[in-house]
Amino acid sequence: MSALLSIENVSVSFQQRKTLFGRDPASLRAVDNVSAEIGEGETLALVGESGSGKTTLGHVVAGLRTPSAGEVRFRGTKLDAGNRRSAGRGIQIVFQDPFSALDPRMPVSDIIAEPLRIQGIGTGKERRERAAVLVEQVGLPQDALNRYPHEFSGGQRQRIAIARALAPGPELIVADEPLSALDVSIQSQVLNLFRDIQERSTLSYLFISHDLGVVEHLADRVAVLYLGRIIELAPREDIFTRPAHPYTRALLDSMPRIGGGRRRKRAIKGEMPSPLNPPPGCVFHPRCPLAQDICRSTVPVFEPIAGRPTHSAACHFKE
């Protein structure tokens, strides 16, 4: 599978303000030396607890934030300030909250056509025609084009946001927790819409979610983030049937299950450490039930597991 997008050693740091006592500001590293690839027509899911760096990394890919180090390549071309606007046609984003992602003063037709206007694509008539096609594609009636966001439910607003992202014909969509603000009864409908759109095209997704049930149904590969670092990356089946990292196993144990027996609980103890002061060695060791002295002093290498070349993890005991 050829790489559509490459994330190469990307880090994102935020400089904190000086304290009241005049101490030097600290640097918060939200994303720490992350590398990954997304192939054509592939869905790569990013999972992890809140504060793990998922959204920050997604914003880097979508061009909403500049990395402090590393680079992002789209079809082999490095994305920078000089070509980000042109790359915007190939990479679009769907935000988490459909209530705040849409301009309440604009009718749906203008909202969907806005990326085309910004990119200078088509005439006014062609943009309106494109909006009419897309509103039907995402399962909304034609009369939705002349209505305003406040007239729609949360699920319908997210469909409008998806139509807007599809407008310029992107090759990759960053979906940042696109289901979490929706009612459970609506989530499956929007999830099926994402799948249907991908089946009709070679569209790729960077799908950010904390819901492993959703990830299990949509993802081709899964990257597990912890404290800004990818600690496990593997095909979906390997992640869900034979996870290698204790953190991944604990996340899977937290999934609600109906019938079919119950998993043995491996509860994650404590809270995620502050990225202002990450622990030495393995960043997960303060909460890990397998932690040994080597975990407290030595950073584990992120590398493939023996006999599983497509399954990598950063753990001293991943074998």
Residue 216, pLDDT score: 93
Tokens at 167, concatenated: 């407008």
Residue 273 in any domain: the answer is yes
Distance CA 300, CA 231 (A): 9
The CATH number that applies at residue 32 is 3.40.50.300
Residue 160 in any domain: the answer is no
Distance CA 256, CA 61 (A): 31
Residue 272 in any domain: the answer is yes
Closest CA to 52 of 233, 257, 226: 226
Distance CA 130, CA 128 (A): 5
Beta bridge partners of 229: 226
pTM of the model: 0.92
Residue 267, pLDDT score: 63
Is the distance from CB of 81 to CB of 65 less than 8 angstroms? no
From the number of C-beta atoms within 10 Å of its C-beta (0-12, 13-18, 19+), residue 202 rates as exposed
Domains in the chain, number:
1
Residue with tokens 């034979």: 242
Residue 112 in any domain: the answer is no
| Segment (H or E) for 74 | strand 69-74
Residue 83, pLDDT score: 79
Residue 301 in any domain: the answer is yes
Residue 75 in any domain: the answer is yes
Beta bridge partners of 78: 73
pLDDT along the chain (319 residues), means of 10: 90 78 73 96 95 95 94 92 77 93 96 94 95 96 96 95 96 95 89 93 94 92 97 97 95 72 62 89 94 96 94 92
Residue 307 in any domain: the answer is yes
Residue 24, pLDDT score: 60
Residue 80, pLDDT score: 85
- Domain containing residue 182: 3-90+170-314
Residue 123, pLDDT score: 95
Residue 81, pLDDT score: 77
Residue 22, pLDDT score: 56
Which are the contacts of 215, defined by CB distance < 8 A and separation ≥ 6?
45, 47, 207, 209, 222, 236
Residue 116 in any domain: the answer is no
